[in-house]
Structure 1
Amino acid sequence: MRKIAVIGAGTMGIGVAQNFAQEGLVVILLDISEEKLDYAKKEISQNVRFHTLFNKNKIVEESEKILSRIKFSTDYQLLEQVDFVVENVPEIWEIKKFVYEKIDKICPDNCIFLVNTSCIPITKIAALTNRAEKFIGTHFMNPVPLMTTIEVIKGYHTSEDTIIRTKELLKHIGKECIIVNDLPGFVSNRISHLFMNEAAFVVQDQVAEPKDVDNIFKKCYGHKMGPLETADLIGLDTVVNSLDVLYQNFQDSKYRCCPLLRKMVDAGLYGKKSGQGFYSY
């Protein structure tokens, strides 16, 4: 039985923990406060009910059964027995640095670190530890249980064994892997954040309302979601942090963060998770 630790009980961490637990794996979900863990427990219970509605042809266990496979905790010492760690902390270097320097000392030598980062290079994070060959990027998409494909990022030192073990794990939870090389933002966020950022500039410049911007992408291009709806779903704070990482790494003005995005984050308008972003929830 493989044991998975998920660090960070935010939007992505909640989805990742739920997905693993739904597929029969034992999960430890870690965060810094009991309050966040209580919120995560409620969200997973609610998400399982929604997941059942969207997957009527698939038998989904009751939320209580799925929750019984997840241990909600603030104790990092529980990582002493895990096979994989999936890290989902905010896209802020100081936080990442603190977490990896801590868990590298606790996790067993054979433990693989799956980095669910948005833009920070895998190789840079791996350099914080003594196990660079066991680092691999796994960029889950939101909502995690409903998405069938993951962008997997190979760091400079990532071993072939790490790639094989990671692909086997992700296959177990029904995910296809698309493997790419390591540069800031990889493929998905290097491109998608340009869309979201420029869409915010369009709204800031009063060219169009958010609904019209998104409808052009959905009705003219056939996208399932518009860039501003996507930004709200991800979290505008996460989008801003990711844009800052891209700008710092590439020093390219195309990644300069739209002032409207930064203003909304300063005002606490993070999108769906706060109840208000470009849209009300």
Structure 2
Amino acid sequence: MRELESVDTVGVVGAGTMGSGIAQVAATAGYDVVLRDVESAFLEDGLERIEDSLDRLVDRGDLSRADAEAALDRIETTTDLEALAGTDLVVEAAVENMDVKREIFADLDSVTDEDVVLATNTSTLSITTIAAATERPELVVGVHFMNPVPVMKGVEVVVGEKTAPEVVTLAHAFSESLDKETWESDDKPGFVSNRILMPWINEGIRAFDEGVATKEDIDRGMKLGTNVPMGPLELADHIGLDICLDATETLHEELGDRYKPAYLLKRKVDAGDLGKKTGAGFYEYD
């Protein structure tokens, strides 16, 4: 296994909201980044998100223009998975689907050097099951970044059944090198964060659907009552209702009816109202 000191180039698989955010913070921290997705259009969208995010950091005075431009220069994009062959560590941030992730990890196992750690950003899926698609399960670990990655300080390090202790140590150290703070979870459904967060969001949706209060008052009540920055419906829109539904359905399958998705959540996703990314969810957005 490679030591953090020998990690110069980080591969990121998936240029969506999470993948582009991970690529941004890695590049800002000084790593060279190879960002891979299956279509050029996805990569273009990802780079646009990174540029917009860096611009906001510059406008707020959190980053110099020179450092923002240097970070962009460190990011290489590709649709070829084999371009990750020269990377020293890979973080997968593709769609939250077990079959897709297992296929990606099997391919990464064949194209990267045998001592390269393969990390997954999954928010609910089993690290152990993903790792079993490789010949190096001891080098597979979860690094669950919070959304939005450039803003949120937390990373959840998830330990699979066969994850080696030194790989867990590397996952913490790598995350901290990106100016993040970490906590650790065993490979149980939902880990720490989503096991607790998704029922909170789900119950907020149920309360709205059952007429307990308006969506504005549900969110206002939770913000004023628990000192969180966003209420459950606002946060669901921010995360993406499709992602919330996927996570809740995984938890429901693993842990039973206490995690059954709210009917209104399913209806919104079926209607294509996924939150901020589509312009409408529980609220409307420009």
TM value normalised by structure 1: 0.95
Partner of 1:261: 265
User: Out of 22, 25, 32, which is 2:28 matched to?
Assistant: 22
Contact kept in structure 2, 1:167 and 1:177, CA below 8 Å: yes
Q: Does residue 171 of structure 2 align to residue 166 of structure 1?
A: yes
Instruction: Please give the per-residue CA displacement for 1:93-147, whole angstroms capped at 9, x wherever unaligned.
Output: 2211221122111111111111110101111111111111111111101111122
CA distance in 2, matches of 1:10, 1:42: 11
Cα offset, 1:33, TM superposition? 0.8
1:10 pairs with 8, 16, 20, which one? 16
Which amino acid letter does the alignment assign opposite residue 186 of structure 1?
A: F
Q: Does 1:123 align with 2:128?
A: yes
Paired letter, 2:13: I
- 2 CA distance for matches of 1:219 and 1:61? 39
Number of aligned pairs? Answer: 279
Partners in 1 of 2:70 and 2:164 — Cα distance?
36
CA separation of 1:152 and 1:61: change in aligned 2, threshold 3 A: farther
| TM-aligned CA deviation for residue 63 of structure 1 | 3.9
Partner of 2:283: 279
2:49 to 10, 31, 43: 43
In the superposition, relative to structure 1, how do residues 188 and 60 fare at CA in structure 2: closer, same or farther (>3 Å)? farther
- Aligned counterpart, 2:40: 34
Q: d(CA) in 1 for partners of 2:200 and 2:55?
A: 32
What residue ranges of structure 1 are gaps of 5+ in the alignment?
none
Structure 2, gaps ≥5 residues long: 1-6
> Within 2, Cα distance between the matches of 1:46 and 1:88?
20
Distance in 2 separating the partners of 1:142 and 1:111: 26
Say whether residues 1:52 and 2:52 are aligned partners.
no
Q: Which residue of 2 aligns with 1:87?
A: 92
1:227-266 alignment, distance < 5 Å: 227-250=232-255, 252-266=256-270
How far, CA to CA, are the matches of 2:62 and 2:19 in structure 1?
26
Among candidates 69, 74, 81, match of residue 79 of structure 2: 74
Q: Which amino acid aligns with 1:264?
A: K
- Show CA shifts across 1:171-221 (max 9, x none): 211112211211010010001000111111111112222211111110111
CA contact (8 A) 1:45 1:67 kept: yes
Secondary structure of the 1:273 match is: helix
For the Cα contact (< 8 Å) 1:22–1:61, is it kept in 2? no
C-alpha change, 1:35 and 1:67, in structure 2 (3 Å) is same
Distance 2:65 2:124 in 1: 33
Could you give the per-residue CA deviations for residues 3-30 of structure 1, whole angstroms, max 9, x where no partner exists? 1111111111111111111111111111
Q: Do the aligned partners of 2:14 and 2:37 also contact (CA within 8 Å) in 1?
A: yes
What secondary structure does 1:278 align onto?
coil
Identity between Structure 1 and Structure 2 (%): 36
User: What's the TM-score, normalizing by structure 2?
Assistant: 0.93
Measured against aligned partners, the alpha-carbon deviations of 1:227-278 in whole angstroms (never above 9, x if no partner) come to 111111111111111111111122x101111121111111111111111111
1:184 paired with 2:161, answer no
CA contact (8 A) 2:28 2:67 kept: no
